[in-house]
Amino acid sequence: MRVYALFGSLVLVAFANVASGAPRTLTLRQSIAPPRNWVDLGRAPPTHVIPLRIALPQPRFLELEEHLTEISDPLHERYGKHLSKEDVEALVAPHASSVDAVHEWLDSHGIRKEACHRSPAGDWVTVRLPVAQAEKMLGTEFRVWKHTLDGDVLVRTTEYSLPAHLDEHIELIQPTTAFNRAKGQRTTFRFSPAPETASPLSSDDKISVAGSGVTVDASCNTTITVSCLKQLYNAVDYVPKATDKNAIALTGYLEQFANFADLQQFYVDQVPAAINTSFDVVLINGGLNNQTLGDAGAEADLDVQFALGISFPTPGTFFSTGGRPPFNPDTDTPTDTNEPYLDWLNFILAQPKIPQVISTSYGDDEQTVPVDFARRVCGEFAQLGARGVSLLFSSGDGGVGDGDPDPATQTCFTNDGKNQTKFIPGFPASCPFVTAVGGTVHIPEVAVDFSGGGFSNYFPRPIWQDVAVGKFLASLPKGTYAGLFNPSGRAIPDVSGQADFFRIFFRGRAVHIGGTSASSPSIAAFIALLNDARIAAGKPSLGFLNPLIYALNGVGFNDITAGNAPGCGTPGFNATAGWDPVTGFGTPDFGKLKDIVLKF
Ligand SMILES: *[C@@H]1O[C@H](CO)[C@@H](O)[C@H](O)[C@H]1NC(C)=O
Ligand SMILES: *[C@@H]1O[C@H](CO)[C@@H](O)[C@H](O)[C@H]1NC(C)=O
Ligand SMILES: *[C@@H]1O[C@H](CO)[C@@H](O)[C@H](O)[C@H]1NC(C)=O
Ligand SMILES: *[C@@H]1O[C@H](CO)[C@@H](O)[C@H](O)[C@H]1NC(C)=O
Ligand SMILES: *[C@@H]1O[C@H](CO)[C@@H](O)[C@H](O)[C@H]1NC(C)=O
């Protein structure tokens, strides 16, 4: 932490207008370099309203982590003994003195307790404030920033301050310095090559896959359907049984909504048994669900069609989270520019019942998220894991980089002012408490060249990764990419799945689409089927998956050993025997995994 210097000493900058007398000094909490590819358009309108979210420290968080470690370790006697909502809330509750200190501070700015929203555990306090007031309280200036490449506009600041006495009572406040966005991780839409019908029902042409021993329609090499994935991942004959208890969900951000009519066309094409069934839509914080066909989102359509198509008749939910309304920086119109994950997390953690598997195909470069904020958000994912929820995230579509081939705009440079060249891992995939899903292509499967992978610069390698990742690192020729990645970081992806040539229905037409956006919802669906088998056998859901996946050390997965994922002007890492930072342990063999997960 740096402190504003005044009169050549530490301390002091702004005098907060404390009604009750003694002026308080502010000390700098966080200061970041203006992030790459964002231009400063000038001061934010003083009346622009921001929902400031104040994170209070969670003094018992390590205890929560210990519980999570035990209940997700398949060899531990507490495996699967998920915590209740109340248990988790007790473990993340702030100290009463922090609650008091925060409200006293807010009160000194005329903000009454009743005007604040508190999360069920009390660990987040949210207050909607005009920019002018937030600036006064945080000793900063909010500015309007525009992304030079995609035109996104955010109201953010590059630093903020707080009274020093709040150091131990406030962990962080956002949205202030977090420039991450929930951008959909898809690569390409291929509109025309989609053939008229999915299965060229002349399925005499088969590919035998060495290794797993499955047989797959030859057409699957160029067009991926629900049936292809069930064949390839060995789940053809599985019939879900626990559909009254088991569930799967997808999250959508930005202007993404899944179209019911597109889903019906998809079902007619690929899952006739599911015709006339649908899914629930939950709107969060102004999330949209515009069923005008022309407004469907490709990402949302892809996620819903494949996740629900594979796991049918498991009930599905689509969470549509708002938070990026049109923002016109030239007007004074108060609008929100939220941070994407917090609204959803706040909502979902408050629910008494949560779908057991949730897939998210959104993310951004890890370095666009301030490290304290990334840790806190990651800790929220741990809470979901402790409640028995498996979270899957696509690992990114840029190999070891950000996917931008243009060195002028690519972000393989550190944002910390030093401008070092570095590989760019994605967040939230880099959070150890989520399962990162990379991509493969073709049959036999090889790594797809955009599969996001690498090593976190924020999160240390969790113990359960030591053996597998250690082995991979030891196999790298000495000095490989030295300085470009953090060999002691959490490594991604954990697993992978097919990622290209997915045949979906989008705005009324069959199209091909690809990206690790396609992998995450489909692998999530196979996890949902594993949960189905467990729940039907009277066992709890799998919950946080990674300790199990790494304990299996490749058993139950098809190892992908060919291909690489370039990025940052390098060929990136190679897919190798065993775990690798391109495809993780590989793709699931549902049949084998089902037998395994029924054993404990
Ligand atoms: C599938 O397509 C890839 C890429 O074109 C090719 O290398 C591979 O041989 C094909 N697989 C089969 C079984 O034909
Ligand atoms: C689906 O619903 C429509 C309208 O109610 C009906 O005409 C059609 O027969 C149904 N199709 C199936 C396969 O159930
Ligand atoms: C939503 O649907 C309405 C028509 O019902 C349309 O006018 C509007 O432009 C659509 N799009 C959005 C983003 O609201
Ligand atoms: C950072 O370094 C790269 C490569 O040396 C260079 O292209 C880029 O302009 C530099 N950016 C800044 C902001 O200094
Ligand atoms: C990937 O494999 C190629 C071919 O075997 C090899 O030349 C290259 O050094 C490998 N790259 C890494 C990063 O291991």
Last residue of a domain, one of 154, 178, 202: 178
Tell me: do 473 and 532 sit in the same domain.
yes
What would you report as the CA-atom Rg of the chain, rounded to the nearest whole angstrom? 24
Per-residue pLDDT of the chain (600 residues), as tens digits, is 232 222 223 333 344 444 444 446 899 999 998 887 889 999 999 988 888 999 999 999 999 999 999 999 999 999 999 999 999 999 999 999 999 999 999 999 999 999 999 999 999 999 999 999 999 999 999 999 988 887 878 899 999 999 999 999 999 999 999 988 777 665 556 655 555 555 554 567 899 998 888 999 999 999 999 999 999 999 999 999 999 999 999 998 866 789 999 999 999 999 999 999 999 999 887 777 878 777 788 899 999 999 999 999 999 999 988 765 445 554 444 345 556 688 899 999 999 999 999 999 988 889 888 899 999 999 999 999 999 999 999 999 999 987 776 666 666 887 777 778 899 999 999 999 999 999 999 999 999 999 999 999 999 999 999 999 999 999 999 999 999 999 999 999 999 999 999 999 999 999 999 999 999 999 999 999 999 999 999 999 999 999 999 999 999 999 999 999 999 989 999 999 999 999 999 999 999 999 999 999
Residue-level pLDDT at 194: 55
Cα atoms found within 13 Å of the Cα of residue 180, Cβ hemisphere only: 25
Tell me: do 474 and 326 sit in the same domain.
yes
Q: Reading across the β-sheet that carries 426-427, which strands appear in turn?
A: 183-184, 362-365, 426-427
Tell me: do 451 and 359 sit in the same domain.
yes
Question: How far does the centroid of ligand 5 lie from the alpha carbon of residue 581, in Å?
Answer: 13
Query: Which secondary-structure segment (H or E) carries 552?
Result: helix 546-552
Residue-level pLDDT at 497: 98
* Smallest CA separation from ligand 3 atom 5, residue: 292
Tell me: do 553 and 478 sit in the same domain.
yes
Residue-level pLDDT at 287: 75
Ligand 1 contact via 442 beta carbon (within 6 Å): yes
Question: How far does the centroid of ligand 3 lie from the alpha carbon of residue 288, in Å?
Answer: 10
What is the distance between the alpha carbons of residues 36 and 566, in angstroms, rounded to a whole number? Answer: 21
Among 226, 229, 317, smallest CA distance to 274 is for: 226
Last residue of a domain, one of 178, 193, 218: 178
> In the structure, which protein residues have their CB atom closer than 6 angstroms to any atom of ligand 2?
275-276
The answer to whether the peptide bond before residue 175 is cis (omega within 30 degrees of 0) is yes
Tell me: do 362 and 232 sit in the same domain.
yes
Among 178, 174, 183, smallest CA distance to 149 is for: 183
Residue 487 DSSP symbol: T
Question: How far does the centroid of ligand 5 lie from the alpha carbon of residue 574, in Å?
Answer: 6
Question: How far does the centroid of ligand 4 lie from the alpha carbon of residue 568, in Å?
Answer: 13
Ligand 5 contact via 573 beta carbon (within 6 Å): yes
- Residue 314 maps to which CATH number? 3.40.50.200
Q: Write out the binding residues for Ca(2+).
A: 559-560, 578, 580
What is the distance between the alpha carbons of residues 71 and 83, in angstroms, rounded to a whole number? Answer: 9
* Smallest CA separation from ligand 2 atom 8, residue: 276
Tell me: do 454 and 306 sit in the same domain.
yes
Is 192 contained in some domain? no
Ligand 4 contact via 420 beta carbon (within 6 Å): no
Place of tokens 């054993």: 599
Tell me: do 387 and 484 sit in the same domain.
yes
Report the residue among 443, 448, 501 best suited for mutation to probe ligand 1: largest number of ligand atoms under 8 A from its CB: 443
Tell me: do 458 and 556 sit in the same domain.
yes
Is 242 contained in some domain? yes
Is 400 contained in some domain? yes
Ligand 1 contact via 103 beta carbon (within 6 Å): no
Ligand 3 contact via 292 beta carbon (within 6 Å): yes
**Active-site residue set:** 299, 303, 517
Distance of CA 523 to the CA centre of its chain: 15
Tell me: do 479 and 395 sit in the same domain.
yes
Among 526, 546, 349, 384, smallest CA distance to 464 is for: 546
Sign of the dihedral through C-alpha 194, 198, 202, 203: positive
Tell me: do 158 and 242 sit in the same domain.
no
Is 237 contained in some domain? yes
Question: How far does the centroid of ligand 2 lie from the alpha carbon of residue 297, in Å?
Answer: 25
Is 76 contained in some domain? no
Tell me: do 298 and 434 sit in the same domain.
yes
Note down the domain range covering 577.
228-497+512-597
Ligand 4 contact via 34 beta carbon (within 6 Å): no
Is 581 contained in some domain? yes
Tell me: do 114 and 255 sit in the same domain.
no
Is 523 contained in some domain? yes
Atom number of ligand 2 nearest to Cα 275: 13
Total structural domains in the chain? 2
**Closest listed ligand to the CA of 564:** 5
Helix axes 298-311 and 516-536, enclosed angle (nearest 10): 30
Structure tokens, 233:
């991942």
Is 213 contained in some domain? no
What is the distance between the alpha carbons of residues 494 and 512, in angstroms, rounded to a whole number? Answer: 25
